[in-house]
Structure 1
Amino acid sequence: MEIDDILAEIFLNGGGNIVILLIAIFIILSIFLGVRIVPQAEKHVVERFGRLRAVLGPGINFIVPFLDKVRHKVSILERQLPTSSQDAITADNVLVQVDTSVFYRILEPEKTVYRIRDVDGAIATTVAGIVRAEIGKMELDEVQSNRSALISTIKSNVEDAVDDWGIQVTRAEILDVNLDQQTRDAMLQQLNAERARRAQVTEAEGRKRAVELAADAQLYAAEQEAKARRISSDAEAYATQTVAAAIAANGLEAAQYQVALKQVEALVALGKGEGKQTIVLPANAMDAFADAFGMLKGRKT
C-alpha cells in the first residue's frame, strides 16, 4: 500500500470520529439548553423570536433549544414597598401626613413584564392617590378612629388598580398619621376641655346619687318606724282585748285586782332606785296593798 492510500484511510477514519464528537457535543448542548430547572421562589418567562412563548413554574421544564430563550427570571416572593409619606387634606380641612407601606406578590409574571416597567413606582403612585382620595372623604376624628376600615378600603382599591399587572396586594398598612403643631395644640385643648367636662359630669352624678341614697335611707327609716308603731299598736290592742275579755269573764273585781297590782309594782320599783333611802308613800298606798292582798285572797277562795 502506498503512502497516499494510508494517509487517505487515516483521514477518513479521523473525520468520522470528528463527526461523532460534534454530534455528541450538539446533543449535550441541546440537553443543556432545553432543560430548565426553576427554583421554588421564581417563575421564568420564555420568548421565541421575541414573542412570549411560555411561563415556566418551579421544577424541571423543557424548552426548544436554540429557539426558546429565558428572557426574564421573576421572583414570586412577597415584597414590601419602601415606606412612603404623602400629604392629604381631610373633609374638615385638616392637613395630615400619612405614612403607608404596601406588601405585594407577583402572580402572573407575563403581565408584570410586558405591561409595566417600574412596578414599585407604579404601585407607590397608585397608593398615594388612593390614600388622598379616601382621606378627603373623612374627617380627622374618623381617620383616627376608623383606621382599620380605611386600611381595608385602600387595600381593596389598590388591588383593583393593579389587577392588570398580574400583582396581588397582600397587605396595606397606615403606619402613622402626623399633624402639624397648630393642629396638635388645638386637639390638646379640645381633649383637656373634654376631660374637664367629663369630670364635672361625674361629680354631678356622684352628688345626685348621694342625694338619692340619703332619701332612700330616710324613706327606709320612716317605713321601719311606721312598722314599729304599727306593731306596738297591735300589741296594745291585743292587751286591751285581753283585759276586756278578763273583765267580761270575771267581772269588775278582776279589773280592780289588776289596778291594785300595778300600784304595788310601781311602789316596788320606786323603792329599788339608787340613792333612795327615804321613800315617800301616798296616803292610800297601804290601802292599795290591802286591796291587792284582799282581792288575791278572795280569788284563792
Structure 2
Amino acid sequence: MNEDQILGLISQNILYLLGALFVVIVVLKGIKIVPQSEKYVIERFGRLHSVLGPGINFIVPFLDNVAHKISILERQLPTASQDAITRDNVLVEVETSVFYRILNPEKTVYRIRDVDGAIATTVAGIVRAEIGRMDLDEVQSNRAELISTIKASVEDAVDNWGIEVTRAEILDVNLDQATRDAMLQQLNAERERRAQVTKAEGAKRAVELNADAELYAAEQLAKARRIEAEAEAYATSVVAQALRENGIEAAQYQVALKQVEALNALGDGAGNQTIVVPAQALEAFGDAFKLFRKPTS
C-alpha cells in the first residue's frame, strides 16, 4: 500500500469520525430532558416556538433553541412593608408576604421583565387601596377577609403574566405610638365600663333574689295562718256540733274544763295557796262529770 492509499484511508476514517460526531451532536441537540420542576421555552429563529414540559422532548437541532429555563416551583416574595391610611385617618404600617408560581412561562418571559418587583408593586398598591376602604377596627378584626380580598385582586392583576398567586398573608399591622396610647386608653375605659355594668347587674340580681325571698316568706306565713285558721274553725265546728247534740251539758263540760285548768294554774304557783271553791262550782263539776258516766247508745 503506497503513501497515497494510506493518506486516502486516513482521510476516509476522519470523515467517518466527523460524521459520527455530527450524528452524536445532532442527537444531543435534538433531545431535551426537562426536570420535573422546570419548563423550557423554545425559540426558532428568535421567535417563540413551543414550551417543553417535564420529561424527554425532541426539537429540531440548530433551528430550535432553549431560550429560557423557567422554574415552576412555588416562590415567596421577600416580606414587604408599606404605609397605608385607613378610612378613619389612622396611619398603619402593613407587612405582607406573597407566594406564587408560574403556570405559563411563555407569558412570563415575554410580557414582564422583573416579575418579583412587578408583583411586589401590585401588592403594595392593592393593600393601600383596600385598607383605605376600612376603619382601623375593621382592619384588626377582619384580617382574614382582607387577605382574601387582596389575594383575589392580585390574581386579577397578574393574570396576563401567566402567574398563579397561591397565598397572600398580612404578617403584621403596626401603629404609631400615639395611636397605640389612644387605643390603650379606650381599652381601659371599655374594661371599666364592663366592670360597672357587671357590678350593677350583680346588685340588681341581689335585689331580685331578696325580693323573691321576702315573697316566699310571706307566702309561707300566709299558708301557716291559713292552716291555723282552718284548725280553729275545725275546733269551733266540733264544739258547735257537740252543742247541737248535747245542748247545755256540752257547754257545762267546756266550762268545767276551763275551771279545772284555772285551778291547776293556781295550784302550780309559788308558795302555799288556799283555794276556796264555791259550792256552785262543785255542782258544775258534778254535772259536767256526769257526762262521762252517761251511757253511750
Residues 63, 289 of structure 1: alpha-carbon distance in 2 compared, 3 angstrom cutoff: farther
Partner of 1:159: 155
Q: CA deviation at 1:110?
A: 0.9
Deviations 1:101-134 (A, max 9, x none): 1111111111111111111110110011011111
2:252 corresponds in structure 1 to: 256
Match of 2:292 in 1: 296
**1:83 aligned to which of 67, 79, 84:** 79
State whether residues 252 and 284 of structure 2, in contact with CA within 8 Å, keep that contact through their aligned partners in structure 1.
no
Secondary structure class of the residue paired with 1:101: strand
Unaligned runs of 5+ in 1: none
User: What displacement does 1:19 show?
Assistant: 2.8
Q: Which residue of 1 aligns with 2:56?
A: 60
Residue 289 of structure 1: CA displacement?
5.2
* Alignment-derived partner of residue 109 in structure 2: 113
Is the partner of 2:294 in helix, strand or coil?
A: helix
CA contact (8 A) 2:83 2:91 kept: yes
Q: Give 2:133's aligned amino acid.
A: K
Q: Which residue of 1 aligns with 2:35?
A: 39
How far apart are the structure 1 equivalents of 2:226 and 2:80? 83
Once the two structures are superposed, what CA deviation does each residue of 1:179-198 show, in whole Å capped at 9, x if it has no partner?
A: 11111111111111111111
Residue identity opposite 1:120 in structure 2: D
Asked if residue 17 in structure 1 is aligned to residue 29 in structure 2, the reply is no
- Please report how far the alpha carbon of residue 138 of structure 1 lies from its aligned counterpart in structure 2 after TM superposition: 0.8
Answer yes or no: is the 8 Å Cα contact 2:36–2:54 preserved in 1.
yes
Letter of the 1:66 counterpart: F
Q: Distance in 2 between matches of 1:26 and 1:277?
A: 154
Retained in 1: the 8 A contact 2:37–2:72? yes
TM (norm. structure 1) is: 0.88
SS at match of 2:57: strand
Say which SS state the counterpart of residue 66 (structure 1) adopts.
coil
Q: What's 2:194 paired with? A: 198
- Over the aligned positions, Cα root-mean-square deviation in angstroms equals 2.5
- Tell me the CA shift for residue 248 of structure 1: 2.6
2:166 aligned residue: 170
1:103 is aligned to 2:95: no
Paired with 1:289 and 1:82, the residues of 2 have a C-alpha distance of: 119
CA distance in 1, matches of 2:276, 2:200: 66
Offset of 1:205 from its aligned partner?
A: 1.2
Aligned equivalents of 2:31, 2:116: Cα separation in 1: 32
Q: 1:223 to 1:29 in 2, by over 3 A?
A: same
Aligned length: 295
- Shift in Å at residue 292 of structure 1? 4.4
Report if aligned partners of 1:263, 1:288 keep a CA contact under 8 Å in 2.
no
Could you state the TM-score of these two structures normalised by the residue count of structure 2?
Answer: 0.89
Unaligned runs of 5+ in 2: none
- Asked if structure 1 preserves the Cα contact closer than 8 Å seen for 2:249 and 2:288, the reply is no
- Equivalent of 1:92 in 88, 91, 112: 88
1:213 aligns with one of 204, 209, 214: 209
1:72-114 superposed Cα distances (whole Å, 9 cap, x missing partner): 1111111111111111111111111111111111111111111
Aligned-residue sequence identity (percent) comes to 72
Change (3 A) 1:296 1:37: same
Partner of 2:127: 131
Moved more, 279-288 or 29-38: 279-288
The 1:270–1:214 alpha-carbon spacing in structure 2 relative to 1, beyond 3 Å, is: farther
Cα 1:87/1:32, change in 2 over 3 Å: same
> AA paired with 1:148?
A
Match of 1:144 in 2: 140
Taking structure 1 as reference, are residues 19 and 231 closer, same or farther at Cα in structure 2, changes over 3 Å only?
Answer: same
Code of the aligned partner of 1:244: A
| Structure 1 residues 270 and 190, CA gap change in structure 2 (3 angstroms) | farther
In the TM superposition, residue 22 of structure 1 has moved relative to its aligned partner by 2.2
Q: Return the letter of the residue paired with 2:291.
A: M
Quickly say closer, same or farther: Cα 1:82–1:278, change in 2 above 3 A. farther
- Partners of 2:263 and 2:113 in 1: CA distance: 123
